[in-house]
Amino acid sequence: MADSAMSDRETTHFGYREVDKDAKAGMVGDVFDSVATRYDLMNDLMSAGIHRLWKRFTIELSGVRSGNSVLDIAGGTGDLAEKFSQLVGDGGRVVLADINASMLRVGRDRLLDTGVQANLEFVQADAQYLPFPDDSFDCITIAFGLRNVTDKDLALRAMLRVLKPGGRLLVLEFSKPTNPLLGKAYDAYSFSILPLMGRLIARDADSYKYLAESIRMHPDQETLRGMMEEAGFSRCEYHNMTGGVVAVHRGIKA
């Protein structure tokens, strides 16, 4: 009976492991609880600072302007939200949302220390069940967060719901390198150097091993574009950066 019950449960991937679907959010939460205080430092070291260029391009693609309402999901330490806060001005609104309380706290403290504007709000929220009314935002961004969501299709539909007609979704995420040689070098870096850096700097090799595995399990560029179209987004497109190591997808709510 026990084996039968286990086989009836819905499962999903946690890195390369198959886990109970209901358990994934808590396991991902443990990862980010562990790395929250050193998250920005590790991002700079892992990408040699290039993540800032990826995010700058995402902001340019967003088309955000004065007076807009922006939702930054999995906003973490708030680097995107800070830029959007400056762009939308006093008449706009930026919501930094993250499911993880530790990451949200680090982001809020950092932005408060830098003199955050009154147009910025902080909300603990699950991307699958966004606690906002329909047609609330002109733009939604999710940077390096979608791969950690248990049900990506559910999350994409939730994002579509809270976007205004004509609103834009930008998904910035690790993807699949377009060059096989680059792919091999990237694999060697991800599974050898990255966990070592995690152990030495963040004192947590296992979390960075999971992050490397989660990247490999994330849908490739064409698959994610298809998922966005299936969720109801139109004019879906993507732009590869750094040879496809990272891609930014954009879709519009008709």
Binding residues: 77, 98, 126-127
Annotated binding site for S-adenosyl-L-methionine: 77, 98, 126-127
Q: HEC states along the chain?
A: CHHHHHHHCCEEEECCEEEEHHHHHHHHHHHHHHHHHHHHHHHHHHHCCCHHHHHHHHHHHHCCCCCCEEEEECCCCCHHHHHHHHHHCCCCEEEEEECCHHHHHHHHHHHHHCCCCCCEEEEECCCCCCCCCCCCEEEEEEECCHHHCCCHHHHHHHHHHHEEEEEEEEEEEECCCCCHHHHHHHHHHHHHHHHHHHHHHHCCHHHHHHHHHHHHHCCCHHHHHHHHHHHCCEEEEEEEEHHHCEEEEEEECC
